[in-house]
Structure 1
């Protein structure tokens, strides 16, 4: 696929206060990819296919809402072209999640992700080629910066991936975690090491359920420490204000959050997005539940039925639906 050359971006020097000391950094100018942009409703998503195959209209609140496309390894690149073509045809901004860093879940050989740094570099090469001139907003490596196994080697991989994707004309948002995980100062120090100066911004609350307000407050403090980079907030499953149970993996109480928008009317927020695909399992969680990333109709039904902002008829239709338990 042919790509247009990326226009030259002159770096501007900014000095940022971090952890009580002042550290100089050069940040590329913001390009604001979501301004005036529309988002793509993916008719090829698992939720859309399940709805169509089972005539399950109660799934419309999920299937008819724009969501990100996840790339968890080389195999996912095969179908990514169709998603990008659809976005181009509809003049929508594609949102792509890259989730394949080595030792992805910080569990050694069982952690998932690329086998090693060389394999990851080859994967990024193929991803850059597949993305072509799509101008995608790329959510780069959920959890990778905030997780316990973040180190200099991982930081170097993320810095290189950010540079290569940005130089190829994509818009990178490094995942920063969520308000319950790291302090803004901790997150800022890690983002700087991971190449935030070359990124468009950072993502908050990916696959989590922290409120939009809490995510925004935390993100504002973080932005001030990393050159006023903009944030995107994942609102896919934060529709309930009470998150006191703090169970991240398939909690019994959760709901769809605010719909995605490129006009969020929140300071330094580029967009509210559904980054995690609602209705997909977080993992077995020690129970008879699907693996992580697998569409789970029972969870999708529960999400729709519990979402306060939806009309009562839509919630009732979901509650009455018959779906497989697992």
Structure 2
């Protein structure tokens, strides 16, 4: 995700608290802590799992055998939820679903056609989830983006309300610590309905150090009623690129594996929200389109992951064709 300049002073915001700004109804919904003691879903239908089976590539096990979120980027993907929910039932696991379809997606005109289409999409997702409770990461980048406005805030607040009323656990995406400052982020989250959400997500599809994400998230949480956060660690194994490159950075590595017991203040879980190995887009280079699984990128993520056993890293380095 793109990295605009940090606005506001993080240090000056750490102790700021705002009163009387909790949202439309002035009060926050009680926290339900859905990740406590929960098992995360290992999705046998993930891009990495598919590629491993199709190419007899056991070196992909560190990605394919690790819980990841399932993304919904449009109505055509909603039928895929049936398989995800069936697997969650078999595993006794909590599914993590990412909704990524807001109008004017990425401020580039993508996503749902208009507010009516988006509301219909959210309702369809709720219907497809049925009585199976899910953790929902709502609209990565939508709150932090430059095109955030009152109309978008209203759409997101309605989505939070509908999902929460159906019993789901919503984490409204907040961006990351190199984007907007805590005060600006908190104000936007309140406008977008965080009072009804379980919390917010940090660092989705980015590579900021987890310690930085945590410090920034705590400063945001202080301003939004102590809401909890989830942090995306899917690609945080190496320092973030010095030039703040938002797309397919080199080098990069898998970050800490997902856990529902992170032992970090107000962190509900560390998750792999971004599917490791999926491209962020070509960025002017000869690389796969955004969302396309790249075995070459997956190999690099595994080969350089400092926490993996040496045998797993070596197996990835030894992998040969086909890697496209």
| TM-score, structure 2 normalization | 0.92
Q: Secondary structure at the match of 1:271?
A: strand
Output the CA distance in 1 between the equivalents of 2:297 and 2:90. Answer: 32
* Contact 1:175 1:203 (8 Å CA) reproduced: yes
Any idea what the Cα deviations from partners look like across 1:212-255, whole Å, max 9, x if unmatched? Answer: 10000000010000000000000000011353232110011110
Q: Which moved more, 1:315-324 or 1:63-72?
A: 315-324
Which residue, out of 306, 312, 315, partners 2:313?
315
Q: Distance in 2 between matches of 1:180 and 1:133?
A: 37
Corresponding residue of 2:45: 44
Which residue of 2 is the match for residue 4 of structure 1? none
Structure 2 matches for 1:54-203, cutoff 5 A?
A: 54-107=55-108, 111-203=109-201
Which residue of the partner structure matches residue 233 of structure 1? 231
Please say if residues 17 and 23 of structure 1, whose CA atoms lie closer than 8 Å, have aligned partners that are also in contact.
Answer: no
Q: CA RMSD in A?
A: 1.2
Cα distance in 2, alignment partners of residues 244 and 311 from structure 1: 27
| Structure 2 unmatched runs, 5+ | 1-15
How far does the alpha carbon of each residue in 1:113-150 deviate from its partner, in whole angstroms, 9 at most, with x for none? 00000110110110010011111000000000000000
CA distance in 1, matches of 2:94, 2:62: 20
Q: CA deviation at 1:112?
A: 1.3
Structure 2 distance, partners of 1:264, 1:177, is 20
- Give the Cα–Cα distance (whole angstroms) in 2 for the partners of residues 133 and 246 of structure 1: 41
CA distance in 2, matches of 1:164, 1:54: 41
Count residues in correspondence.
306
SS in 1 for 2:207: coil
The equivalent residue for 2:276 is: 278
1:265 equivalent to 2:263? Answer yes
Match in the other structure for 1:17: 17
CA distance in 2, matches of 1:212, 1:271: 12
Q: Using a 3 Å threshold, how does the CA distance of structure 1 residues 323 and 218 change in structure 2: closer, same or farther?
A: farther
What is the alpha-carbon distance in structure 2 between the residues aligned to residue 192 and residue 118 of structure 1?
22
In 1, Cα distance between equivalents of 2:142 and 2:247: 18
Distance in 1 between residues matched to 2:17 and 2:257, nearest whole Å? 34
Q: Deviations over 1:39-58 (max 9, x none)?
A: 01101111001111111111
Q: Supply the distance in 2 between the matched residues of 1:253 and 1:197 (Cα, whole angstroms).
A: 38
Higher relative contact order (CA 8 A, sep 6+): 2
List structure 1 segments (4+ residues) > 3 angstroms apart after TM superposition: 323-326
Q: Is the 8 A contact 2:21 2:190 kept in 1?
A: no
Higher relative strand content: 1
Does structure 2 retain, via aligned residues, the 8 Å contact 1:33–1:137?
Answer: yes
Aligned to 2:303: 305
Q: Displacement, 1:311?
A: 1.5
| Cα 1:324–1:246 shift into 2, 3 Å | farther
Cα deviation, 1:53-80, whole Å, max 9, x if unaligned, reads 1111110000000000000000110111
Match of 1:5 in 2: none
2:183 aligns to what SS in structure 1? Answer: helix
Normalised to the residue count of structure 1, the TM-score between the two structures is 0.92
What is the CA-CA distance between 1:22 and the residue it aligns to?
4.7
* Unpaired stretches in structure 1, ≥5 consecutive residues: 1-15
Q: For the Cα contact (< 8 Å) 1:281–1:293, is it kept in 2?
A: yes
Aligned to 2:27: 26
